[in-house]
Structure 1
């Protein structure tokens, strides 16, 4: 009788599995504008990486489109020792895509690698330097020992460098192999990667959160916006992710049968940053004048079709640290000319604006900015670069012109993650400036556990950077997705980090 019950149970499970397999049938194709070049979590800061890799890797925590922080590979956590120790209880029964078990040793390995020599080669380590060590308590418990409390750490653990990686696989195959053949614990696994062309994912049925509804997902790297939209119209692409879709093509998509644009407010902000070390932009008055010369609301109305908001500092209204009382610099060409005269800048002075060559919308914005600068006597030329070259070579090496485009995802929704990386001395995105007072404020706010006090300090930092005019804050952007009507269960992520587990397609 016992054997019969076991057989019946097995047959029922097989039947359920068969039904599940039928319901999972379907493939999705996503257009993304950029190949990150490496799938290793510690090698990247790119939103285009996260829009795919959120499906391949898991962190100890997870934050979805609703922006709520929930358990990921950790089922619970608690603060100990006044916030300088975090204890995580880990999910049991989880395996990596290669069958390797997930446990406390995998967590320890991940963070020792991130904070060690390998992590030093990439841009993520500075986000996690509060972590002094990771202690294994038992197979499913770890303690993070911190040099000081980090009020944003739990959110950081939900993305990018903190994604948990398999120790055995990396030790056997090496870091270079892992870059192109990553293994995680996420709901999809990478099965084929053709650099600059596409990457194909298959459902990982053993995922701890349940099998995805899709069988497979293909991400195609399409840098040209018009090509991506044409592929959406033809049905060869199901989703086009931000920031691909030009504002001017919104109506084209919405007026085409079977596809639509889905817009959601996002933390993404755009600015033109200044070389504060050399050239006319080394003068604070000149930088202030350039900001006042540009009518940013007119840019939003005319080029962005209202899909954005003017910002006073380099953060969106969704960011913790945003000060609603902080007013943007006014559009005041007359005052701009006065400041330029006070700074001794002769009419006809030249500046260069470096931009991402594949960003069609910002290309238009840069042209308008140049026209406004011309109106106050400054000649601005625009220098386009391939995105990876600009971000990995030109900016970090301090080889830009007087001005350069900076788009920032603000994915932690906390101004610390923007301000520290943009303004602290020696950081990758701060190749020119060094300010002891600003360094002091940035360091101090990280040790504040009182939420209201820390928010006030972040707002003070925003005011300070505005006074120094370290960049020309332009606008926060809505995230624009192009979506086929055959896509079911799609929820747009404000930060582009799509989790496709519950997405399906209708034929």
Structure 2
């Protein structure tokens, strides 16, 4: 609890308790259960508790695909999935003046080299959906005509050799949670004569790394400008991953000055098409949010990219 004049918390409670608010204004969303968030029980221990049904833990948030896949068959709990407003994609390192990834044909070729269904099922145990760009199908700004890059290893090999990338080892930076995904990408690259090396995002990445796997959020219609991910491509970006791109900047400027529907969504779709046409990223898939859930509760995660602590509903 913060008190007046306090701006920094230097300790934390071992638990956070949320009691039902009997006077909540909306009867349809009135809380009905007491929720305890335990800050002491570790994630691995919590997963074991759900599987064992010992009553200490009912829900564990944000499992990795490996953790979900390893969850034992249990009559006391299960893995629950939710299509989250996120995507997993690779950002090309274009920052070096001699970077081969400044060439859109090289970026497109690497996209053609990846068998996304294989990467999803081999590297993430099927917990996700292959999508064509940054915005998931059916959401604001998604173009229903867009399709994922096809898997064409022969065309990829020819283009990468023409770009002078054939036969080299590519360095992928990613969270340890996605090491299996990088390994599956490596199997795809091996078929066209490329090596693949994983570097943990917890380490200092080498200057010459090729691709960094990142989470991105597919935001809501109330904030559609974020759909274009200007932080990586726009002229006011703090994290711009490549050289100046006047064509993208012009599209982004048009979006800022198109306040009405349906014109605004059409501009968002134009941005999405541009990002795919220029292969500005290594497009992969939209991961699921994964939970270990005890059979003692009926758990309903919100369709959101915000804090589960604030927006989760558990029906007791």
Normalised-by-shorter TM-score class: 0.7 to 0.9
Q: Secondary structure of 1:434's match?
A: coil
Supply the distance in 1 between the matched residues of 2:15 and 2:254 (Cα, whole angstroms). 42
Deviations 1:418-452 (A, max 9, x none): 42233212424434343122122112213323222
Of 216, 223, 227, which residue of structure 2 is paired with 1:408? 216
Of 131, 136, 144, which residue of structure 2 is paired with 1:324? 144
Supply the distance in 2 between the matched residues of 1:220 and 1:404 (Cα, whole angstroms). 31
Partner of 2:114: 294
Q: TM-score, normalised by structure 1?
A: 0.53
Supply the distance in 2 between the matched residues of 1:335 and 1:422 (Cα, whole angstroms). 28
Partner of 1:443: 253
Partner of 1:503: 314
Mark the runs of 5 or more structure 1 residues left unpaired by the alignment: 1-96, 99-167, 182-191
**Residues 375, 280 of structure 1: CA spacing in aligned structure 2 closer, same or farther, 3 A cutoff?**
farther
Partner of 1:367: 183
Mark the runs of 5 or more structure 2 residues left unpaired by the alignment: none
Partner of 1:484: 294
After superposition, the CA RMSD in angstroms is 3.2
CA contact (8 A) 1:200 1:218 kept: yes
Supply the distance in 1 between the matched residues of 2:166 and 2:69 (Cα, whole angstroms). 42
CA contact (8 A) 1:277 1:432 kept: yes
Of 247, 261, 285, which residue of structure 1 is paired with 2:105? 285
CA contact (8 A) 1:268 1:495 kept: no
CA contact (8 A) 1:322 1:415 kept: no
**Residues 303, 340 of structure 1: CA spacing in aligned structure 2 closer, same or farther, 3 A cutoff?**
closer
Deviations 1:54-80 (A, max 9, x none): xxxxxxxxxxxxxxxxxxxxxxxxxxx
1:456 pairs with 2:272: no
Alpha-carbon shift at residue 241 of structure 1 (Å): 1.6
Partner of 1:173: 6
Of 226, 230, 248, which residue of structure 2 is paired with 1:417? 226
Supply the distance in 1 between the matched residues of 2:233 and 2:40 (Cα, whole angstroms). 32
Which of these two proteins has the greater Rg computed from alpha carbons? 1
Supply the distance in 2 between the matched residues of 1:237 and 1:369 (Cα, whole angstroms). 35
1:355 pairs with 2:139: no
**Residues 268, 216 of structure 1: CA spacing in aligned structure 2 closer, same or farther, 3 A cutoff?**
same
Partner of 1:268: 86
Q: TM-score, normalised by structure 2?
A: 0.82
Partner of 1:185: none
Instruction: Figure out how many residues of one structure are paired with residues of the other and give that number.
Output: 305
**Residues 273, 205 of structure 1: CA spacing in aligned structure 2 closer, same or farther, 3 A cutoff?**
same
Q: Secondary structure of 2:74's match?
A: coil
